[in-house]
Amino acid sequence: MLVLVAPGQGAQTPGFLTPWLELPGVADRLTWWSAVADLDLVHYGTEADADTIRDTAIAQPLLVASGLAAALALFPHPGEAFGLVGAVAGHSVGELTAAAGTGAITAESAMALVRERGRAMAAAAAATATSMTAVLGGDPDEVLAKIAEHGLTPANNNGPGQIVAAGTVEQLEAFKADPPAKARLVPLSVAGAFHTEHMAPAVERMAQLAKGVTAHDPRVRYLSNRDGQVVHSGRELLDRIVRQIANPVRWDLCMDTMRELGVTGILEVPPAGTLSGIAKRALKGVETFALKTPDQLDEARAFVQRHAEQTPNAMDAAPTWRLVVAPFSGTVQRGTAVEGSVLEPGEHLGLVVSRHEERKLVAEHGGTVLEWLVEDGDPVSPGQPLVRIHPRPEAFV
């Protein structure tokens, strides 16, 4: 199985977009997205220095634009990708790249949202002197306990041996003086405690904007930063992206789901390297590909074919019906709805139950049950289609 991943803030380096502009159409797309983002993305991706592109309001649109541009170069006909890619995930702002890549939102919506996300998070960061520190090594439980002791938030959990603590500058200074045993602290060059309560004002702004964005169900398994679960509702996906601004990124759980799905290859879009490196440490035996420059495209396409799904992607559904899928591994408990049952929007269909949690299955748009694809009590895997529903006509508007 092939998984595509998109990196988050901090992955950008000066001039990283320069070679991509040599490809036909890339400069034109970036010029258009620059108008949407109200930023000269070509300038910032080719000529600006490291300090300039570290600015949250610049870095975030630059990251999303570069990831989408490279994905379109890799898959010139995006519809073909839906039959090859098993799952997608983005780290922090990379979730917007992934959402656009799956067809859940348009590229223009992603660029408008990331423009406002970057501005709102920069404004929230300016309200209080906050920052972030990477904690490398140490016992995970002891690291988390020490982070909590100093009133900090584990803003990023990137897997074994890498947790990022975030909070006020004063809290981080105290943490530096009293670190967890056998851990190394690396202060990050960011001007804000991202994915913590300090970002609450940005959540309010983004929630207002997201209400006006048209969201579609993703056509590929989308793994959420919140808990690593597969999300198949476009509206829920967008709501999660908004809330994630002030909540920790659980990349460790995203990788757990990748492992459970049977991932064999992970391809990271530009500016690539960070997530590929994490995967090499955490997902032993999984091949990785960091797509950094366009001269790697032929090799990247061969990598895609080598790890592509061998069976049709059941989530790439026809537009006349919708799927309800399993969010995680567990056992399905079917409700009373049978073929032909007419459901109200949000009506309960059943449950998926694991040892740790349970999740209600709902018919988000309502409609008529066409077919159950599993039997009561069947084991299910993340993203597995469970039931097909023909939605009400207004759901297509």
Question: pLDDT tens-digit profile of 255-269?
Answer: 999 999 999 999 999
Tell me the pLDDT tens digit for each residue of 12-61: 999 999 999 999 999 999 999 999 999 999 999 999 999 999 999 999 99
pLDDT for position 153: 97
pLDDT for position 204: 93
Residue 173: give its domain's CATH number. Answer: 3.30.70.250
Q: Do 104 and 222 share a domain, yes or no?
A: yes
| Count of domains observed in the chain | 3
* 198 annotated active-site: no
Query: With 80 as the cut, is the pLDDT of residue 311 above it?
Result: no
Q: What are phi and psi of 41, to 5 degrees?
A: -65, -35
Burial per residue of 153-180, b for 16 or more beta-carbon CB atoms within 10 angstroms, e otherwise: bbbbbbbebbbbbbbbeebbeebeeebb
pLDDT for position 397: 42
Name the strand (E) or helix (H) holding 121: helix 107-127
* 92 annotated active-site: yes
pLDDT for position 396: 41
Integer Cα distance of 57 and 119 in angstroms:
5
Q: Give the dihedral sign, CA 225/229/234/235.
A: negative
Report the Cα 147 to chain-centroid distance in Å. Answer: 25
Integer Cα distance of 319 and 358 in angstroms:
29
Integer Cα distance of 63 and 353 in angstroms:
37
Question: What SS3 class is residue 154?
Answer: strand
Q: Do 15 and 107 share a domain, yes or no?
A: yes
Integer Cα distance of 176 and 161 in angstroms:
17
Tell me the pLDDT tens digit for each residue of 96-122: 999 999 999 999 999 999 999 999 999
Predicted TM-score (pTM) of this structure: 0.90
Averaged pLDDT for residues 139-156: 96
Query: Is 327 within the bounds of a domain?
Result: yes
Q: Do 136 and 116 share a domain, yes or no?
A: no
Averaged pLDDT for residues 202-214: 94
Averaged pLDDT for residues 371-387: 93
Query: With 60 as the cut, is the pLDDT of residue 192 above it?
Result: yes
Query: Is 313 within the bounds of a domain?
Result: no
CB atoms inside a 10 Å sphere around CB 236: 18
Note whether 252 and 282 are within 8 A (CB): yes
Q: Do 274 and 158 share a domain, yes or no?
A: no
Q: Which of 66, 91, 150, 195 is catalytic?
A: 195
pLDDT for position 318: 47
Amino acid at 344: E
Domain of residue 150: give its range.
125-187
Note whether 124 and 201 are within 8 A (CB): yes
Q: Do 99 and 221 share a domain, yes or no?
A: yes
Query: With 80 as the cut, is the pLDDT of residue 185 above it?
Result: yes
Q: Which of 66, 92, 109, 329 is catalytic?
A: 92
Query: With 90 as the cut, is the pLDDT of residue 237 above it?
Result: yes
Query: With 80 as the cut, is the pLDDT of residue 316 above it?
Result: no
Note whether 41 and 126 are within 8 A (CB): no
pLDDT for position 314: 61
pLDDT for position 160: 81
